[in-house]
Amino acid sequence: MKVELWIAIIAGAVSLVSVGVTAWNSYSIESLKLSDELRKETAQRQKEMSKFSEPLARSAYDLQSRFYNILKQGLIDVYLIKGNDREKLYVINNTAYVIAQYMCWAELVRRETQLIDLGEHEKTRELLHLQDSIYRLWGTDRENHVFRVFAGEQRAIGEALIQTGVQGQECMGYGSFLKTFTAGVNPLIDVLRSDVVSLKTDLGQAAERMTNLQHALIDLLQMLDPDYVRFPKDSRSKV
């Protein structure tokens, strides 16, 4: 009886161990599957984010460059005050466009980041923090009214330029902007144009907002392109 009992105990133990090993193997396999799925999901999300963050960086670069040219290179005096009709119109329309272009890509990134778990994305949290700072700089009333654009207006301007392209939603180009937003079509775009024109007399008063925005846009570029791969270092100087 004792031998039979020991045999039964051993058999039971072996059975329990077998069940445990099988369960552990199943758990390990499922864990590996989940980890692999998480990696794939993260990679896909990063790919989707890059679809918007790269043009956001380009639009930030274009806008900070325009502010630099206005504040340091005499663009207003040379082309808006002393330029011919074509040059004056270009400064007015293109400056309004590069502002609206940035707001458009900022809005597209804002929509995309709503789908991301920020707890697992340190870089995305940093991106949102920098964008929030830029939102506030546009909207603050502590500075002159020129180029003051409230948060809701920033989003509205951005939304107005969104169009559907081959790869999904994107910002319209400058040519489409000129055709779409003729005078009187969009009051917010008209205000941007008026603010550009006002720089002929109000440049000194608008300088603080433009300076703060240019600095913040440079910081955004530093986060998006820290190794100066896409945008050269000597073209990213703070005024």
**Residue-by-residue DSSP string for 117-141:** -GGG-HHHHHHHHHHHHHHHHHH-S
Q: What is the pLDDT of residues 217-232, one digit of tens each?
A: 999 999 999 999 999 9
pTM here is 0.80
Q: What total number of domains does the chain contain?
A: 1
Quote the CA–CA distance of 8 and 5 in Å, as a whole number. Answer: 5
- Among 36-40, 127-131, 143-147, which stretch is predicted with the lowest mean pLDDT? 36-40
Q: Are 49 and 116 in contact (CB under 8 A)?
A: yes
In a domain, 12, yes or no: no
- 73: pLDDT strictly greater than 70: yes
- Give a yes or no: residue 21 inside a domain: no
Residue 4 pLDDT more than 70?
no
Q: For residue 14, what pLDDT is reported?
A: 60
Has residue 45 been placed in a domain? no
Domain that holds residue 225: 50-235
Q: Let me know if residue 177 belongs to a domain.
A: yes
Q: Is residue 24 part of a domain?
A: no
Q: Three-state DSSP class for 115? A: coil
Residue 43 has pLDDT above 60, yes or no: no
Residue whose entry in the numeric block shows the structure tokens 């009051």: 187
Residue 104 within any structural domain of the chain: yes
Residues whose CB falls within 8 Å of the CB of residue 170, separated by 6 or more in sequence, listed in order: 55, 108, 162, 163, 164
Q: Residue 98 falls within a domain, yes or no? A: yes
Read off the pLDDT band of 6 (50, 70, 90): low
Give, in degrees to the nearest 5, the angle at Cα 94 between 88 and 96.
105
Q: Helix, strand or coil for residue 162?
A: strand
Q: What is the DSSP letter of 168?
A: E
pLDDT over 80 at 85, yes or no: yes
The pLDDT, as a whole number, for residue 52 is 77
Query: Is the pLDDT assigned to residue 21 strictly greater than 70?
Result: no
Measured at the alpha carbon of residue 239, what is the angle toward residues 94 and 49, in degrees to the nearest 5?
60
Q: Is 160's pLDDT higher than 60?
A: yes
Q: Which residues contact 228 (CB under 8 A, 6 or more apart)?
A: 236
In a domain, 25, yes or no: no
Cβ atoms of residues 164 and 45 within 8 Å? no
Least confident piece of the model among 34-38, 118-122, 176-180, 191-195 = 118-122
Handedness of CA 40, 42, 43, 49 (dihedral sign): positive
The residue assigned the tokens 């133990």 is 13
Cα–Cα nearest to 223, from 22, 57, 40: 57
